Copies of this chain bind each other. A is one copy, B any other.
């Protein structure tokens, strides 16, 4: 091949790449600040506008946090922290062994996913989805989440056993994340979520106390998203899911 394809890439993209590399190589460490926009511009020999565009791209990607009047903070990489949870280890041990590996690859919405497997997957994805939602949710997104929450509360008052409001609440948060993969993921998983065993367990452990806890946790998640607090939304979602997992483990 030998020929390098010449891409007349836009300046902001090239700048973003350079900064990304510098972050990856440890020159700019998480928790520290990037040089001021003006300095970056002169150092790179570009205008401040282009630097700003690059920083916005990095901000959307979640690599930096732009703070007005302060500076541009290099963020810690979120996916790394999801490990090392003893509770998760317990869940993993409880899921059943794998199916026949020669089964044809097919999406089958009638497959019943065991509750622990389902919660294990949600535990990985939903905290990040909530954090993204806190950052990106539009007012329409927030209104949709609020409506789902309202229905969730109504469901609880009506002693619902299928909890459509709860499902909708989580799905709408995934939608508000702006990540289509998260959205599809949640739709698929919650489409599975009400198989026989799951429903049985659900009714078994839906005590008045758990309903109250769940409601207040939902409210906390919603508040954080409304306030635009990524860390708050992530933590609130973790607390919520861990409680649900705990309830099922208590059996």
Residue of B nearest to A119 (CB): B181
The reply to whether B56 and A100 contact each other, CB–CB distance below 8 Å, is: no
Q: Which residues of B contact A49 (CB under 8 A)?
A: 49
Q: Which residues of B contact A250 (CB under 8 A)?
A: 17
The reply to whether A181 and B117 contact each other, CB–CB distance below 8 Å, is: yes
Segment of A27-35, A36-44, A166-174 engaged in the interface with chain B = A166-174
Q: Which residues of A contact B (CB under 8 A)?
A: 1, 5, 7, 9, 12-13, 17-18, 20-21, 49, 52-53, 56-57, 60-61, 79, 82-83, 88, 90, 92, 94-103, 105-109, 111-114, 116-118, 120-125, 127-128, 132, 135-141, 143-145, 147-148, 150-151, 164, 167-168, 171-172, 175-185, 187-192, 204, 207-208, 223, 226-228, 234, 249-251
Count of this chain's copies in the oligomeric assembly: 2
The reply to whether B53 and A105 contact each other, CB–CB distance below 8 Å, is: no
Measured between alpha carbons, how far is A190 from B181 in the docked complex, in Å? 10
How far, in Å, is A242 (CB) from chain B's closest CB? Answer: 9
Beyond A101-B141, A122-B181, 20 additional pairs, beta carbon < 8 A: A12-B56, A20-B138, A49-B49, A57-B60, A82-B128, A90-B191, A92-B135, A92-B191, A94-B167, A94-B190, A97-B136, A98-B176, A101-B176, A105-B168, A105-B171, A107-B109, A107-B184, A107-B187, A121-B181, A184-B192
The reply to whether A100 and B185 contact each other, CB–CB distance below 8 Å, is: no
The reply to whether A179 and B117 contact each other, CB–CB distance below 8 Å, is: yes
Query: With A12-B56, A138-B21 as given contacts, are A143 and B101 in contact (CB-CB < 8 Å)?
Result: yes
Contact of A99 among B150, B171, B249 (CB under 8 A): B150
Query: With A96-B178, A113-B181 as given contacts, are A101 and B144 in contact (CB-CB < 8 Å)?
Result: yes
Measured between alpha carbons, how far is A41 from B189 in the docked complex, in Å? 39
The reply to whether A103 and B175 contact each other, CB–CB distance below 8 Å, is: yes
How far, in Å, is A159 (CB) from chain B's closest CB? Answer: 12
How far, in Å, is A88 (CB) from chain B's closest CB? Answer: 6
The reply to whether A168 and B94 contact each other, CB–CB distance below 8 Å, is: yes
Measured between alpha carbons, how far is A101 from B171 in the docked complex, in Å? 10
Could you jot down 8 A-B contacts, CB within 8 Å? Answer: A61-B178, A95-B164, A98-B151, A99-B178, A101-B175, A105-B168, A107-B187, A107-B191
Measured between alpha carbons, how far is A172 from B103 in the docked complex, in Å? 8
Measured between alpha carbons, how far is A56 from B60 in the docked complex, in Å? 9
The reply to whether A184 and B179 contact each other, CB–CB distance below 8 Å, is: no
